[in-house]
């Protein structure tokens, strides 16, 4: 069952700007820092959306997204932050229902409201 105000965040930092922004928008972020633990949580619980905080993880973002797609092909995945690898960013945004938000935190709140 999906919960309309619970979102998942792949991040090692529970006090990041992303987490604060989600709380301010009325969402309840559930965080995990390791990919396998995150995928297990996503597989067994429903979320309104999934966020990846590139600033606070050491995981392969594209691999994570592809694994999420195997679990739920329709859920929105929001990647916050840019990669140094432009080809990776291009591959990410070419996926269905995937959003890439650059590092401009002033726009973050408005962009998140438009996506979810």
Q: Which helix (H) or strand (E) holds 32?
A: strand 28-32
Rounded to an integer, what distance in angstroms lies between the CA atom of residue 50 and that of residue 58? 17
N-term to C-term CA, the chain: 17
pLDDT tens-digit series, residues 100-115: 887 655 556 677 777 7
Its pTM surpasses 0.75: yes
Token representation of residue 81: 């932050």
Per-domain residue ranges for the chain? 6-115
CATH number attached to the domain at 6-115: 3.40.50.2300
pLDDT tens-digit series, residues 28-69: 999 999 999 999 999 999 899 999 998 888 888 989 999 999
Burial of 64 (0-12, 13-18, 19+ CB in 10 A): buried
């Amino acid at each position: 069952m999906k919960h309309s105000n619970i979102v998942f965040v792949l991040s090692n930092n529970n006090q990041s700007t992303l987490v604060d922004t989600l709380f301010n928008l009325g969402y309840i972020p559930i965080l995990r820092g390791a990919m396998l633990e995150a995928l297990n949580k996503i597989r067994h619980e429903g979320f309104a959306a999934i966020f990846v905080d590139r600033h606070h993880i050491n995981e392969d973002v594209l691999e994570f997204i592809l694994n999420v797609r195997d679990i739920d092909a329709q859920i929105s995945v929001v990647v916050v932050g840019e990669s140094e690898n432009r080809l990776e960013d291009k591959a990410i945004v070419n996926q269905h229902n995937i959003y890439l938000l650059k590092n401009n935190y002033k726009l973050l709140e408005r962009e998140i409201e438009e996506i979810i």
